[in-house]
Amino acid sequence: MNMTFRQLRLFLALADSGSVSAAARATHVTQPTASMQLKEITESVGMPVYEVIGRRVYLTEAGRELAETARAIANEWEALQQKFDAMRGLTRGRLRVSLVNTAQYFMPRLLGGFCASHPEVDISLELMNRDGVVARMRDNLDDLYIMSMPPRDMDLEDSVFMPNPLLLVASPAHPLARRRKLSLERFADDRFILREQGSGTRMAAEQLFAKSKFRPRLKMELGSNEAIRQAVAGGLGVAVLSRHALREGKAETDVAVLDVQGFPLDSQWHVVHPRGKRLSPLAAVFREHLLKAASAWR
């Protein structure tokens, strides 16, 4: 095969965007040029690497293999550039981090110091639910991943950097809002509002429910902490939420934190990456910054 590095970057952009025009924009070439380059890639491989169904591009098996290798090459090249920059006394480059939705409540504080000391570093944050973060990790799309429940079927480098206490909350008007040392069974008749299946908060809550042999009456599932908090404040039910999802100064006005056996539920924030993945110099520095900053902030 005979492909240029620019062609590999174009193909990676195609794999990420699912669109020839979007790949062209991402690599700053015209669409006819992108189409011609993709045709040359296909000819070089000797078999189709993508197919167009409707208006979307889907990679073939050969295309997925090519994208995986191209991504590894691009990551190695970027790491080499960062090493050369470090030799010249420069600290610049691009850092890619995926994090679950709840992390949005504390990450800006932890990022502040890093951005101040590394102003030339571009940080790309992908904010999504846990399933989305795990999918990106399986595809090796980012440098680091932040979540509360890392997958157990992956071999990971895993560091706990901050607690993530999970609380049982209700409307301040709930009849048990001011009671103390309640058993979970006292809420057998309550409707529960929970995060979607697969979220770290939902998984931790279900583990506690199973251990306590408690079957909550599910009112609804919502994929947003804010939506759940508003629903609880409106008296629609009780919910399990991370302490981080309660706005400072709002915990005792919008919702009431209930004193229930088993809560706060112990949970932790993890920064992970697949074992064997060689972190770029920037990613390694950011990981150390995250661990130190979180320890100081908490």
At 168, the amino acid letter reads L
pLDDT at residue number 181:
92
User: Is the domain of 206 the same as that of 230?
Assistant: yes
pLDDT band at 205 (very low <50, low <70, confident <90, very high): very high
Selection from 218, 168, 223, 228 nearest residue 198 by Cα: 223
pLDDT at residue number 81:
76
User: Is the domain of 286 the same as that of 157?
Assistant: yes
Work out the mean pLDDT of the chain and round it to a whole number.
88
pLDDT at residue number 201:
93
User: Is the domain of 143 the same as that of 282?
Assistant: yes
Q: Is the pLDDT of residue 237 over 80?
A: yes
| Dihedral-angle region of residue 18 (phi above 0 means left; psi in -120 to 50 means alpha; beta otherwise) | left
Q: How far is CA 224 from the centre of its chain?
A: 14
User: Is the domain of 197 the same as that of 256?
Assistant: yes
% of residues, the chain, pLDDT over 70: 94
pLDDT band at 84 (very low <50, low <70, confident <90, very high): confident
Q: Residue 28 burial by CB count (10 A; 0-12/13-18/19+): exposed, middle or buried?
A: exposed
Q: Answer yes or no: is 149 within a domain.
A: yes
Q: Answer yes or no: is 80 within a domain.
A: no
Q: Answer yes or no: is 35 within a domain.
A: yes
| Cβ pair 221, 194 in contact under 8 A | yes
Q: Answer yes or no: is 73 within a domain.
A: no
Encode pLDDT of 150-200 as tens digits.
999 999 999 999 999 999 999 999 999 989 999 999 999 999 999 999 899
Q: Is the pLDDT of residue 238 over 90?
A: yes
Residues 6+ apart with CB under 8 A from 112: none
77 vs 238, more confident: 238
Tell me how far apart the terminal alpha carbons of the chain are, to the nearest angstrom. Answer: 52
User: Is the domain of 54 the same as that of 102?
Assistant: no
Residues 6+ apart with CB under 8 A from 157: 272, 273, 274, 275, 277
What's the CATH code of the domain at 96?
A: 3.40.190.10
User: Is the domain of 102 the same as that of 235?
Assistant: no
What's the CATH code of the domain at 45?
A: 1.10.10.10
Q: Answer yes or no: is 114 within a domain.
A: yes
Q: Answer yes or no: is 76 within a domain.
A: no
pTM exceeds 0.85 for this model: no
What is the domain extent for residue 29? 5-65
User: Is the domain of 241 the same as that of 293?
Assistant: no
> DSSP string of the chain?
----HHHHHHHHHHHHHS-HHHHHHHTT--HHHHHHHHHHHHHHHTS--EEEETTEEEE-HHHHHHHHHHHHHHHHHHHHHHHHHHHTT---EEEEEEEEGGGGGTHHHHHHHHHHH-TTEEEEEEEE-HHHHHHHHHTT-SSEEEESS--TTS-EEEEEEEE--EEEEE-TTSTTTT--SB-GGGGTTSEEEEEPTT-HHHHHHHHHHHHTT---EEEEEES-HHHHHHHHHTTS-EEEEEGGGSPTTTTTTTSEE--BTT-SBP-EEEEEEETT----HHHHHHHHHHHHHHHHH-
User: Is the domain of 147 the same as that of 292?
Assistant: yes
Q: Is the pLDDT of residue 142 over 60?
A: yes
Q: Is the pLDDT of residue 62 over 60?
A: yes
**Phi and psi for 137 in degrees, rounded to 5?**
-70, -40
Q: Is the pLDDT of residue 113 over 90?
A: no
55 vs 58, more confident: 58
Q: Answer yes or no: is 74 within a domain.
A: no
User: Is the domain of 146 the same as that of 286?
Assistant: yes
Residues 6+ apart with CB under 8 A from 289: 110, 113, 114
User: Is the domain of 175 the same as that of 259?
Assistant: yes
Give how many domains the chain has, as a whole number: 3
Q: What is the mean pLDDT of residues 129-140?
A: 93
Q: Answer yes or no: is 12 within a domain.
A: yes
User: Is the domain of 132 the same as that of 215?
Assistant: no
User: Is the domain of 280 the same as that of 136?
Assistant: yes
